[in-house]
Amino acid sequence: MMARPGSAYVGMVLILLLALRPQAFGQPGPELVGAWGPLLDFDEGNDAAVLLKNGKILLAGGPSQTNFNDYLIYDPALPVSPGTNPLRFDGPAWHDLHCIGFSALTDGRVLFAGGNHEQEGLRETTIFDSDLPYPECWVRQDDSSARRWYPTCTALADGRILVTAGWDTSQGDNLANIPMIFDATMPSGQQWSELTGAECCTYDLGSCPPPAPPWPFHIGYYPFAFLTSNGQVFFGGAAPAHQANGDLATRFLSTQFEQWSDVGTAPFLGDSAVMYKSDWIMKAGGRTACFNGQPVNSAARIHAMAPNPTWEELAPMNHGRYRSQLVTLADGKVLVVGGQENTREQNESCGINPAPPNPVYVPVQIPELYNPAANTWTDMAAFDAATARWNHSVVLLLPDGRVIPPPKGTAKAFEVALHHSPG
For 256-307, write each residue's pLDDT tens digit. Answer: 999 999 998 999 888 899 999 999 999 999 877 555 567 889 999 999 999 9
**Domain assignment present for 49:** no
- Are 210 and 318 found together in one domain? no
Q: Quick one: 237 and 101 in the same domain? A: yes
Verify that 283 and 259 share a domain, yes or no.
Answer: no
Same domain, 118 and 141: yes
Which of 322, 301, 359 has its CA nearest to residue 239?
Answer: 322
Mean pLDDT of 315-327: 92
Whether 39 is in a domain gets the answer no
Alpha carbons 256 and 187: distance in angstroms, whole number: 21
How many other C-beta atoms can be found within 10 angstroms of the C-beta atom of residue 106? 12
Domain hosting residue 316, numbered range: 274-379
* 162 shares a domain with 194: yes
Domain-located, residue 141: yes
Q: What is the pLDDT of residues 338-351, one digit of tens each?
A: 888 876 554 444 44
Instruction: Examine the domain organization and report whether 293 and 371 are in the same domain.
Output: yes
For residue 206, being part of any structural domain is answered with yes
Looking at residue 9, its pLDDT comes to 27
**Residue 109, CA atoms < 13 Å, CB-side half-sphere:** 21
Q: Within its chain, how far is the Cα of 77 from the centroid?
A: 23
Q: CA 17 to CA 13: how far, in whole Å?
A: 12
Q: What is the pLDDT of residue 27?
A: 64
| Buried-exposed string 72-83: b where 16+ CB fall within 10 A, e elsewhere | bbbbbeeebeee
pLDDT at position 86 is 82
Query: What is the per-residue pLDDT for 203?
Result: 59
Please indicate, yes or no, whether residues 259 and 283 belong to a single structural domain of this protein: no
Is the domain of 141 the same as that of 179? yes
Residue 80 pLDDT greater than 80, yes or no: no
| CATH code of the domain covering residue 333 | 2.120.10.80
The CB density around residue 386, as the number of other CB atoms within 10 Å, is 12
Residue 198 backbone dihedrals phi, psi, to 5 degrees: -105, 20
Q: Identify whether 17 is part of a domain.
A: no
Looking at per-residue pLDDT, the higher value among 419 and 272 belongs to: 272
Write out the H or E segment, with its range, that includes residue 32.
Answer: helix 30-33
Q: Using CA atoms, how far apart are residues 188 and 182, in angstroms rounded to an integer?
A: 11
Residue 299, in any domain of the structure = yes
Instruction: Give the whole-angstrom CA distance, residue 248 versus residue 341.
Output: 22
Residues 260 and 279 in one domain: no
Q: What is the pTM of this model?
A: 0.86
- Residue 15's contacts (CB-CB under 8 Å, 6 or more residues apart) are none
Higher pLDDT among residues 91 and 275, named by residue: 275
**Between these two residues, 304 and 357, which has the higher pLDDT value?**
304
C-beta of residue 21 within 8 angstroms of C-beta of residue 27: yes
**Is the residue at 170 inside a domain?**
yes
Q: Tell me, yes or no, whether 215 and 293 share the same domain.
A: no
Quick one: CA dihedral 233, 236, 237, 239, positive or negative? negative
- One domain, residues 115 and 151: yes
Sequence-distant (≥ 6) Cβ neighbours of residue 119 within 8 angstroms: 169, 170, 171
Tell which residue, 91, 101, 108, has the closest CA to residue 123.
101
Quick check: is 248 in a domain?
no
Q: How far is CA 230 from CA 157, 255, 280, 304, in A?
A: 10, 11, 13, 10
Please count the structural domains in the chain: 2
pLDDT tier, 65 (very low <50, low <70, confident <90, very high otherwise)? very low
Same domain, 258 and 283: no
Give the DSSP H/E element, type plus range, for residue 377.
Answer: strand 376-379
In whole angstroms, what is the distance from residue 333 CA to residue 382 CA? 18
Task: Give pLDDT, residue 228.
Answer: 98
